[in-house]
Amino acid sequence: MVVIALRDISPGDKKMIHGWRNLPEVAEYMYTDHPITLQEHEKWFQHIKTDASSRYWIITRDQEEVGLVNLYAIDNRNRRCYWGLYVSGLNARGKGVGSFTQYAILRYVFDELDFNKLCCEVLSFNRPAINLYKSFGFVQEGYFRQHVIKNSRPMDVVSLAMLQGEWQAKRLRIEERMRRKGLL
C-alpha cells in the first residue's frame, strides 16, 4: 500500500522548496510569474517560520518528498482560512497525492481547528485542480476577472470554498471513496 503523509517543513527543506517553486510545471499555476531568486526565497522562508497566519507541510509519498501544502490567511476570529498545494513530481501526479492531501487538510481545518470555512483560489485555466476541489464538495463562490497579472497578461481566478456543515454532510462518502482508491 502506498503511504501518503504530511510533515512539518524544516530548515533542511529550504533548498528543495526553492527548486520546486521554480519548476515550470509548478510555477505555471502560481500567482508568481518570474523565477524566484534565492534572496526572495530566503525572505519568504524566514517569514513563514514566524507567521502565525500560515502553516506549511511537506507532502510525502512512500517517504519521498513530492509537494507542499499550506494554510494561509488563518483567521481564528472568523474561523476561516485559505489553502493551496502543489505536487512537484510529475511521477507523483495522478496517484492520489492531491486527493489524500485535500482530505487531510479538510480534516485538520474542520475537525482539529474547528473552523467554519476553508477557501481557495485557482487560476481559471487550472481545470484539473478546480475539478478536484469540486469533487470533494467545494463550491465556486466567485469568478474574479483579470484578477492577477501573470506573464504580462491578466488572468482570471476562480474562488472556491467549503463550509464545515458541508464537510460533515460529505465526509463519510469522501472517506469511502478514499478507501476504495486505497488512500485510507
The H-assigned helical ranges of the chain are: 14-21, 24-27, 38-50, 97-107, 127-135, 164-180
Domain of 83?
Answer: 4-180
Residue 95: predicted pLDDT: 84
- pLDDT digits over 14-68, tens only? 999 999 999 999 999 999 989 999 999 999 999 999 999 999 999 999 999 999 9
CATH of the domain at 116: 3.40.630.30
pTM for this prediction = 0.95
Fill in the amino acid letter for 141. E
Number of structural domains, the chain?
1
pLDDT tens digit at each of 184 positions of the chain: 779 999 999 999 999 999 999 999 999 999 998 999 999 999 999 999 999 999 999 999 999 999 999 999 999 999 999 999 999 977 778 889 999 999 999 999 999 999 999 999 999 999 999 999 999 999 999 999 999 999 999 999 999 999 999 999 999 999 999 999 999 9
